[in-house]
Structure 1
Amino acid sequence: VSGAGCLIRNSMGKLVSVASYKLKEGTYNSTELQALSKGLSLAASLKIENLEIEGDSLVIINAIIKKRALSWKLDLGVQKNLWQLSFFNNWSIRHVYREGNQCADWLANKGIEKILWEKVDINGSAWEGLVMMVSKEEPNYGIDGSSPRM
């Protein structure tokens, strides 16, 4: 059983929306593709035009950048994600270390527990813990040299 967690932040880094989903069973990489698809659907539903995507699966990030998967079994999922991305005016995708993706991981675990949220009002008191975690999470915890890693 796998789950997906999605966070949408505005250009200032402020949390806009979160979502948690239970995913179909599959390999690690196929569930990462499902999770990306869910996040793209959420962003589209919010009418976001310019998108910066961060994920901790380097295999999937590279497959999207290269526009092809290493395995034919994953290629359909990659092509679906590329099709979804074609509806955004601008998009970029980059890898972040797992430490920089803790909030999405927490939400994914809620999806596994069948606690499903979609387009949640994040201003409610139930979200204080997550909002605190998001504010402490290091944005740009990437491997592309854009921020120093200590």
Structure 2
Amino acid sequence: MWIRWSQISIPFKGVLVGKKSKKDSRKQVKWEEPLNSFLKLNFDGASKGNPGRSGAGRVLTDQNGLIVKAASYRLPNGSNNLIEARELLEVVKIASNMGLSKLHIGGDSQIITSGLISKKVTNWELQFVLGEVWNLLLRFDDFKISHYYREANQLADGLSDLG
């Protein structure tokens, strides 16, 4: 049975953005459907204790927003950033092995998404893992990398907590 992402009911909590002023500015945060002819891969990693018990979650949706695959995994203990980077590497490997040509990757870790986009990371372990991700991304005809607030990545976030 196929389920559209928009059919999944998840309570929404507004996110405070920018500096707090007399008038709170709130931003509507929502999941976006993939670009036309792209598959979208939302990923997340979680580490309880940092480093501590770790898990990962991933959701692959087609251009219509239908969930193609979703998974939750228990991982060895590690830091949250390294777990996020390793999960990203795994999902890009899976997408590459599936023979996908256009991929839109989305995660809620600003450090990982920014590090991947800028190719500037100070931690050598993250640098190594993100370098492997870039090498795999070059196999795709086209790809997009996006950072999302946790509220827009709730399904992958919830799956990572289950792992």
Q: TM-score, normalised by structure 1?
A: 0.68
1:100 aligns with 2:155: no
**Where does 1:15-34 land on structure 2 (aligned, <5 Å)?**
15-34=67-86
**Where does 1:1-150 land on structure 2 (aligned, <5 Å)?**
1-111=53-163
What CA deviation, in whole Å up to 9, does each residue of 1:119-144 have, x standing for no partner? xxxxxxxxxxxxxxxxxxxxxxxxxx
| Matched-pair contact (CA < 8 Å) for 1:20–1:107 | yes
Q: Secondary structure at the match of 2:156?
A: helix
Find runs of 4+ consecutive structure 1 residues off by over 6 angstroms: none
Work out the CA distance in 1 between the residues paired with 2:116 and 2:152: 20
Work out the CA distance in 1 between the residues paired with 2:154 and 2:75: 18
Select between 36-45 and 10-19 the one with higher mean Cα deviation. Answer: 36-45
Of structures 1 and 2, the one with the larger relative CO (CA 8 A, separation 6+) is: 1
Q: Secondary structure at the match of 2:82?
A: helix
Work out the CA distance in 2 between the residues paired with 1:40 and 1:23: 17
Q: Secondary structure at the match of 2:121?
A: coil
Work out the CA distance in 2 between the residues paired with 1:100 and 1:60: 16
- C-alpha RMSD of matched pairs (Å): 1.4
Shift of 1:70: 2.6
Q: Provide structure 1 residue ranges, at least 5 long, that are not aligned to the other structure.
A: 112-150
Larger Rg: 2
Work out the CA distance in 1 between the residues paired with 2:97 and 2:160: 20
When the two structures are aligned, how many residues end up with a matched partner? 111
Q: Provide structure 2 residue ranges, at least 5 long, that are not aligned to the other structure.
A: 1-52
Shift of 1:44: 2.1
Identity percentage of aligned residues = 34
Q: TM-score, normalised by structure 2?
A: 0.63
